[in-house]
Amino acid sequence: MNVRTLCLAILFAGEATGYEIKKLSTEGEYAYFVDASFGSIYPALDRLEREGFVTCRKEDEPGKPSRKVYAITDAGRAHFVDSLFDLPAPDVFRSEFLLVVMHADILPKPVMRRAIDHRIEQIEADIAKLRQIAQGNHKGGPQWAIDYGLDCMEHALGYLHAHRDELENCSDLGTASDPSQPGTSRHAARIAAE
Amino acid sequence: MNVRTLCLAILFAGEATGYEIKKLSTEGEYAYFVDASFGSIYPALDRLEREGFVTCRKEDEPGKPSRKVYAITDAGRAHFVDSLFDLPAPDVFRSEFLLVVMHADILPKPVMRRAIDHRIEQIEADIAKLRQIAQGNHKGGPQWAIDYGLDCMEHALGYLHAHRDELENCSDLGTASDPSQPGTSRHAARIAAE
DNA sequence: GTTAGCATGTAAACAGTTACATGATTGT
DNA sequence: ACAATCATGTAACTGTTTACATGCTAAC
């Protein structure tokens, strides 16, 4: 999904500024969709306004930076709802962690351990964030999405906890570095630095 | 992760042509990482060769299209393994399906049902693909990655089956279209067409 | 006095997709 | 005859990121 649709989705739920859209897409309830930067959001809102899908109202409160509050139009609403009727594109799951996992056999144990710990912390942070979002009283679709997300994340976290030993035991040859492999010069130093 | 790293990861496991890398990244064992097109793979291999991370051998078998078989160099191996020592970037999960779910309340039941059916089919296809990959005898890291992937997907599938009714019951107002909302003109036609 | 948060925007650079061009072989 | 698979490559385009520029307020 692109930034355009993200903007429409957020504005469909209520008015917002570019700044707020950024926050919602990176930290808030819309983080499942796109992780947009200012450099893509502001131009997208400009274009949506030119196309008549959103309107813009400038707010100048003294003592505060002026802000441009965007609102969706009837045409925008129609366009967005219409796109929901299309069959959704397949879910995307990308994991650099799994790339590391696939090479557990050639990585020193401490490196693998650190990667697992890091991944666990990330999932825990994601769960905490979702739980916080869940505080607001949602219902119907939004509530279902939250429950689904929490359930999947908790399951993945449980799996990691239950099976991390197996993963760590793939790599018990060298605790620091294996000099028989090329390019390991920097590795020992990195591990030593911890 | 970018196409460059994908190429190195695949070549780390063995020689391959650009064509084979494409297949592995879209259908095979590396689909967790990047979904690359020819337009990105061929230039990436060119650049990796110029930089000395891979070498290229041209194979001309009569009666077959000539192919360029790439192999990783020691420098490439070192570069790749080194990158595995970095803390992996957070996993990415993006779901258009969940965007539809979040608007279940305003979507007609048949649309929601179709979206759920479609999502279930996708997960089932992904599971089937992973099971097929699992046929090859993997061990250690790669085996762990497969088991993890299967477990997470099966869990998500189970959740969908167990909770799809709740989701469908969010939208029981209009079975086809709701004329009180703007922009629903095309919707009725779409539903009717099924 | 310095960091963090609020707030908008632009330009250059980069990554990647899409569409096109080419052509042989194998299977239906 | 037609489609699919194998196989490489380029050019134009699009979308997005990064870095920069600006400036005010509130908290520490």
Which nucleotide across the nucleic acid strands is nearest to A40, CA versus C1'?
D16
**B67-72 and B54-59 beta bridge pairing:** antiparallel
CATH number 1.10.260.40 is the correct assignment for the domain at B3-84: no
Is residue A190 pLDDT above 70, yes or no?
A: no
- The predicted-structure confidence for A81-132, as pLDDT tens digits, reads as follows 999 999 999 999 999 999 999 999 999 999 999 999 999 999 999 999 899 8
In percent, how much of chain B has pLDDT > 70? 88
B187 CB neighbours in chain A (<8 A) are 81-82, 85
Is residue A64 pLDDT above 90, yes or no?
A: no
Distance from CA of B80 to the nearest CA of A (A): 9
Exposure b/e, B10-48, CB count within 10 A at least 16 = b: bbbeeebbbebbbebbeeebbbbbbbbeeebbbebbeeb
Other Cβ atoms within 10 Å of B66 Cβ, number: 9
Which of A118, A141, A190 shows the shortest C-beta gap to B85? Answer: A190
- The predicted-structure confidence for B44-63, as pLDDT tens digits, reads as follows 999 999 999 999 999 887 77
Mean residue pLDDT of chain A comes to 87
Read off the pLDDT of each residue in B107-125 and give the average, rounded to a whole number.
Answer: 94
Cβ–Cβ gap B147/A163 under 8 Å: yes
Nearest-Cα residue of chain B relative to residue A181: B78
Distance CA B72, CA B54 (A): 4
- The predicted-structure confidence for B150-183, as pLDDT tens digits, reads as follows 999 999 999 999 999 999 998 866 544 444 444 4
B52: CB within 7 A of chain D nucleic strand: no
Which of B96, B166, B182 shows the shortest C-beta gap to A88? Answer: B96
pLDDT at B194: 40
Is residue A194 pLDDT above 70, yes or no?
A: no
Taking the domains of chain A in order of start, what are their residue ranges?
Answer: 3-84, 96-192
pLDDT at B172: 65
Distance CA A169, CA A183 (A): 23
